[in-house]
């Protein structure tokens, strides 16, 4: 009997081992296929990633572009805790016109993967904005360029707005996609839009969830998370789905299994630390005068940072130049769901500034 049981257990373990090896082999082949698709073949290309000492923490910075002399564009990712370096493939077309600098913020992606633990209480808006400024300074020195274009998304616009306000000398222009202004204004607007969408779509289940939790503001992160899930049900975003996130973290070249785990851990831990600071943040407290050109890229159906709040904020600002690009029927993250559309606006409106030309 012992021999029989031992044989069965051995067969099961053997099958598991074979399955694991097969999965890892498939993953390696998919990463190889993506690596070939992402390969840059131009003479003056740049494709590198490294840990850079920023403040007290080594942070991951990735730089890619077909011509390292192209205008540099610093991506300040959203989340908090969602490192966009995992979505390198979504930015591949941008690398013809820009040198793309991806920074994994503290508590996110490869930066978290190296540290392994997010660190309780270690993430603050103030500290991360200062880190962003140091990343910009390092990138300019490394690339031997005068200034960067700062491209910030969602949560990243909180950091980005502070960065260009404090150090306008580092930036050709600021582009905010899904601009976060202040929760007291944006959250109720987004809730009302979600109710309308649920009614239009006939989504009775999501409508009931929204009606049950009521209108923001919410006193706790748990209720806010329920609302965010409901917004996702009725939003127009097509990317990223959970499948997209898994694909990115498993198959992006250079992403280890530890990096993939850190990607998901970072999102959860970052929002736990930064929820209250986000809910009390108000971009208007920075003042209304900026010394760099300002661009706001906005989806008309954005439920997270509603267009109405962004339009009000943009109208209140003074800058050498400002524009608001409003995309009909787009949601919160067109930079990921429709990167070609976003690139077109960047090339036409923003890139000329880095070449010394006037705004379009």
Would the pLDDT of 7 be above 60?
no
Q: Which two tokens stand for residue 48?
A: 């590198």
Tell me the average pLDDT across 122-127: 94
Would the pLDDT of 99 be above 90?
yes
Would the pLDDT of 146 be above 50?
yes
Tell me the average pLDDT across 71-89: 96
Confidence of residue 5 (pLDDT cuts 50, 70, 90): very low
Give the start-to-end residue ranges of the domains of the chain. 1-39, 48-182+238-354, 186-234
pLDDT tens digit sequence for 270-292: 999 999 999 999 999 999 999 99
Confidence of residue 30 (pLDDT cuts 50, 70, 90): confident
- Complete DSSP assignment for 118-181: --TT---HHHHHHHHHHHHHHHHHHHT-S-EEEEEETHHHHHHHHHHHH-GGGEEEEEEES---
Mean pLDDT, the chain, whole residue set: 91
> The domain 48-182+238-354: what is its CATH number?
3.40.50.1820
């Amino acid at each position: 009997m012992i021999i029989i049981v031992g044989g069965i257990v051995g067969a099961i373990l053997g099958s598991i081992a074979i399955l694991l090896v097969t999965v890892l082999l498939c993953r390696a082949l998919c990463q190889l296929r993506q690596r070939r698709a992402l390969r840059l073949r131009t003479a003056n290309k740049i494709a590198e990633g490294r840990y850079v000492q920023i403040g007290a923490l080594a942070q991951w910075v990735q730089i890619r572009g077909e011509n390292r002399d192209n205008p540099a564009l610093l991506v300040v990712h959203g989340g908090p805790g969602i490192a966009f370096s995992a979505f390198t493939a979504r930015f591949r077309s941008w690398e013809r016109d820009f040198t793309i600098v991806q920074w994994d913020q503290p508590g996110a992606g490869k930066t978290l993967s190296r540290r392994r633990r997010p660190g309780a209480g270690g993430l603050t808006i103030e500290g991360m904005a200062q880190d962003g400024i140091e990343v910009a300074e390092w990138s300019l020195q490394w690339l031997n360029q005068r200034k960067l274009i700062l491209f910030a998304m969602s949560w990243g616009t909180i950091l980005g707005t502070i960065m260009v306000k404090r150090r306008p000398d580092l930036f050709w222009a600021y582009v905010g996609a899904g601009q976060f202004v202040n929760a007291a204004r944006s959250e109720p607007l987004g809730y009302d839009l979600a109710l309308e969408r649920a009614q239009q779509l006939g989504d009775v289940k999501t409508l009931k969830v929204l009606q049950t939790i009521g209108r923001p503001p919410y006193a706790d992160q748990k209720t806010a998370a329920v609302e965010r899930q409901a917004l996702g049900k009725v939003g127009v975003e097509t990317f990223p789905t959970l499948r997209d996130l898994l694909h990115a973290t498993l198959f992006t070249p250079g992403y280890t299994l530890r990096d993939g785990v850190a990607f998901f851990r970072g999102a959860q831990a970052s929002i736990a630390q930064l929820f209250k600071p986000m809910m009390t943040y108000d971009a208007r407290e920075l003042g209304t005068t900026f010394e760099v050109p300002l661009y706001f890229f906005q989806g008309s159906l954005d439920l997270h940072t509603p267009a109405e709040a962004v339009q009000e904020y943009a109208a209140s600002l003074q800058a050498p130049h400002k524009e608001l690009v409003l995309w009909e029927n787009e949601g919160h993250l067109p930079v990921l769901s429709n990167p070609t559309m976003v690139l077109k606006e960047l090339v036409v409106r923003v890139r000329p500034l880095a070449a010394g030309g006037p705004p379009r």
